[in-house]
Structure 1
Amino acid sequence: MGQLPAASNVLPVREYLLVALTAAVVTFLLVGLVRALAFRIGAVAHPRTRDVHVKPMPRMGGLAMYGGVLGGMMLAHQLPVLRSAFDFSYDPYAVVLGGGIIVLVGIVDDRFELDSLTKLAGQVTAAGVLVLYGLQWFVFWVPWGDDGSGTGSLLVLDQNQGALLSVLLAVTMINAMNFVDGLDGLAAGIGLIAAAATCAFSIGGVLANNEGDVGAYPPALIAACLAGACLGFLPHNFNPARIFMGDSGSMLIGLMLAAATTSASGKLNYESLNASDVLGLMSPLLVVAAVLFVPLLDLLMAIVRRTRKGQSPFSADKMHLHHRLLQIGHSQRRAVLLIYLWAGLLAFGAVSLTVFDTGVVAWCFLIGLLLAFFISAVPRLRESRKNRA
C-alpha cells in the first residue's frame, strides 16, 4: 500500500461522514419503492407462531440498503481523498460484488423461503468473493509464544488458512445477524452500532496508527457505508415497522461487518502498535469480539439449545435474546433499546480502549454495565415487589 503525500496526511473524517449521510439518504428514499415492489411480487412476511408482528409485512428491505451502500461507494469514488481506497485496494469492489450476491440470495429467500443448505451455499459464495479479491486475514497477535518482545507472538497465516478463517467468520456473522433479526429495528440498530464502532476503530486505531496509509481507508469506508444504510432504513423499520429488511438486509449487514472487521484487523500492521502494551496488541481482536458479541451470543445459545433437543441448528423457536426480554416483561421498543444499550456498551467500550486511558474506560464501562443490568431487571424487580405486597 502506498503512502499519501504529507500535505494530504490527514484523517478524512468529513468525507466519511458525507459518505455515511449519502448512504442514509439514498436508503431512506429507496425504501418506498422497495416496499411497493415487495407487495407486488409477494415478498411478504405473514404472521407465524414464533413471530411478534400480527399483520402481513413487506420485506426485502435489504435491496434499499444495498442501494444506499452503492450510493455511498459511488460518492467515495469521486472524493479527492477517499478515492485512494479504490486505487490501492480491492476491498470496496469485493464488498460491492459480494454484497450484491448476498442480497440477491436474500431477495429470493424473502420471496420463496429457500432451504438452509441453499442459503448456506449462497453465503459461502459471497464470502468467497471477498477472499478472491484479497479481503482476508493474514496475521494476528496471540498471547502465547514469544517473538522476542515478551508479549506473545504474531501468528502468520498462509493463503489457505487465511481464506478458511475469513470465510468462516463471514458465514458466522451473516447467520448471527440473521438470527438476531426478530424485532422491529433490532438488526438495523445493531448493525448501525457495530458499523459505527468499527468505523471509529478504523479511523482512530488503524488509520491514525498507520500515519495516513491509504491501505487503512477501506475498512472505515465499508463501515461508514453500512452505518449510513442502517441509519436510513431505521426510521421505516423501528416499531411500529412499515417494512422488514428480510434476509436480504440482515445477511448484507453480517457480510459487510465481517468485511470491515477483516479489512481493519486482518491486515493491521501490529508493529505500528506499542509492542510492550499487551492491550494495544489485543485491541483489534477485542474490537472484533465486542462488535460481534451480542449476535454471536444469540447464535451460540440457539445452536446449543436446539442441538440439545435433537433439532436442526437452523430450526426456528421463540427463545432468542429478544424473546427472553419480552418474556421478562419489556415492551418491544424497550427490549430493542436494551439490546442497543448492551451492544453499544460492548462495542464502543472496546474501541475506547484503543483511544483513551484504560483506567477511565474501565470505570465508565463498569458503571454502564451496572446500569444496563439494573434496567434489564426492572420488570422482574417490579414483579417481585408486587408479589411481596
Structure 2
Amino acid sequence: MTSLLLTGVGCGLATTVTAGLLLPVLRHRLDVPNHRSSHTVPTPRGGGLALVVGTVVTAVLVALTGDAWPADTWVLLGASLVLALVGLLDDVRGLPPVPRLLAQVVVGAAAGFVVGGALGLVVGALVVPAAVNMVNFMDGINGICAAHAVVGGVGALLAGQALGSAPLSVLGALTSGAALGFLPWNAPRARMFLGDVGSYLLGGLAGLSVTAGLSAGADAWRPEVIGCLAAPYLLFAADTATTLVRRRRRGEPLLEAHREHAYQRLVHGHGLPHWVVSFAMAAAAAVVVGAFLGGWLPGLVASAVAVVGFLVVAPRVVPRAVAS
C-alpha cells in the first residue's frame, strides 16, 4: 500500500507541474464559449495532456526504480493512453463519431481479452466505450470529471486490494493521483479544461478498471468490489441516461451540445457555482462507495437516495435555498 500511495502522490505532483508548464502553450488553443457552453470566458483546452504526461512520467520512474508492475498493468495503462491519443486527435482534427466509437470498442475489447480472456473481451468492448463517452458527455463544468476521478481512483484501488489485483490497484492509484493533480487547475476557477484528451483518458481508466475487476471471476461480484468500481460514476450514468432518453423522445440529436444535464440545470437554472455542484456530486459518490463496503442493502439504499436526491429533489429544493 505504501508503494501505491507513493505512486499516486508522484503522479499527482507530475501532473500539476506539467499543467503549469503547459498553460502558456494551451493559451493558443482556447475554448471560446457559445450559447450552449457552461463557461463565459475563453479558456485553454487540452489540459488533459498534463494527466497523460504525469501518468507516463510516473510509470517510467517506477520502471527505472525496479518496482516491477505485472504485465497486465502495462496492458491496461497502454490501452488508456491509446484512448487519450484518440481524444487528442479529436481535439486537434475532429474525428467523426463512427471512427471514434470503433477505436474505443477495439481498444476495450483487446485490453479486456488480454487481462480476462473471452469474458474480458465482451466486458471491455461494452464498458470501455460506455465509460469514455459518459465521462466525455459529463465534462461540462469546472471540476466535475477530476473530482469524480479522484473518487473513482480510490474505489479502484480499494477494489484491487479486495481482489488481490495489483493491476487494478495501480490503475486506481494513477487515476486518483492524476485527477487530484489536475483539480487545482480546473476548480474552483478553471484555468484550463481537460479537453477530449483528458476525458478520454479518465473515461478509459474508469472503464478499464471495471473491465479488470469484472474479469477477476466470482469474487468480483462482492458488494464491496462492485460498489468501489461502479458507484463513483453512478450519478454520471444516471444523469447521462436520463438526458439521452429525454432528448431521444423529443427527436433531438443525441450528440449535439446542450445544457440539459441535471448538473447543468443546477448551475444555469439555479445559480449554483460549478465547484459546489461538482464537489457535492463527488461527495455523494464517495458516500455510496462507503455504503457498499457495508453490504448490498446499504449500498443500494444509498444509491437510490443519491440518484433521487440529485435528479429529482435538488432541482426542486435548490431554488428555495438560493432565494432564501
Is 1:71 the counterpart of 2:57? The answer is: yes
Aligned to 2:181: 232
RMSD: 3.1
Aligned-pair CA distance for 1:79: 5.5
Aligned to 1:96: 77
Of the three residues 193, 196, 201, the one matched with 2:159 is 201
Aligned-pair CA distance for 1:292: 2.8
Is 1:335 the counterpart of 2:284? The answer is: no
Question: Aligned partners of 2:150, 2:35: CA distance in 1, in Å?
Answer: 29
Matched residue type, 1:206: L
Cα distance per residue 1:160-206 (max 9 Å; x no partner): x5413321100000001101111011111111111112212222x21
Question: Aligned partners of 1:51, 1:369: CA distance in 2, in Å?
Answer: 25
Of the three residues 349, 367, 374, the one matched with 2:291 is 349
Question: Aligned partners of 1:240, 1:378: CA distance in 2, in Å?
Answer: 25
Matched residue type, 2:197: S
Cα distance per residue 1:193-242 (max 9 Å; x no partner): 11112212222x212xxxxxxxx111000110111000100011112111
Larger radius of gyration: 1
Aligned-pair CA distance for 1:269: 5.4
CA contact (8 A) 2:158 2:228 kept: no
The list of structure 1 runs, each at least 4 consecutive aligned residues, that deviate by more than 4 angstroms after superposition, is 361-378
Aligned to 1:135: 115
CA contact (8 A) 2:76 2:111 kept: yes
Aligned-pair CA distance for 1:353: 2.5
Aligned-pair CA distance for 1:362: 9.0
Matched residue type, 1:288: L
Is 1:184 the counterpart of 2:142? The answer is: yes
Of the three residues 198, 209, 216, the one matched with 1:260 is 209
Aligned-pair CA distance for 1:65: 0.2
What's the TM-score once normalised by structure 1's chain length? Answer: 0.74
Decide which structure has greater helix share: 2
CA contact (8 A) 1:345 1:369 kept: no
Aligned to 1:143: none
Of the three residues 88, 93, 111, the one matched with 2:92 is 111
Is 1:218 the counterpart of 2:167? The answer is: yes
CA contact (8 A) 2:159 2:229 kept: no
CA contact (8 A) 2:120 2:212 kept: no
Identical counterparts, % of pairs:
22
What's the TM-score once normalised by structure 2's chain length? Answer: 0.87
Is 1:380 the counterpart of 2:319? The answer is: yes
Cα distance per residue 1:15-57 (max 9 Å; x no partner): 11000001001101111233233334xx321101111211211
Point out where structure 1 has 5 or more consecutive residues left out of the alignment: 1-12, 139-158, 208-215, 274-279
Cα distance per residue 1:235-257 (max 9 Å; x no partner): 11112111001111111111111
* CA distance 1:363–1:312, shift in 2 (3 Å): closer
Question: Paired residues, what number?
Answer: 322
CA contact (8 A) 1:178 1:247 kept: yes
Aligned to 1:48: 34
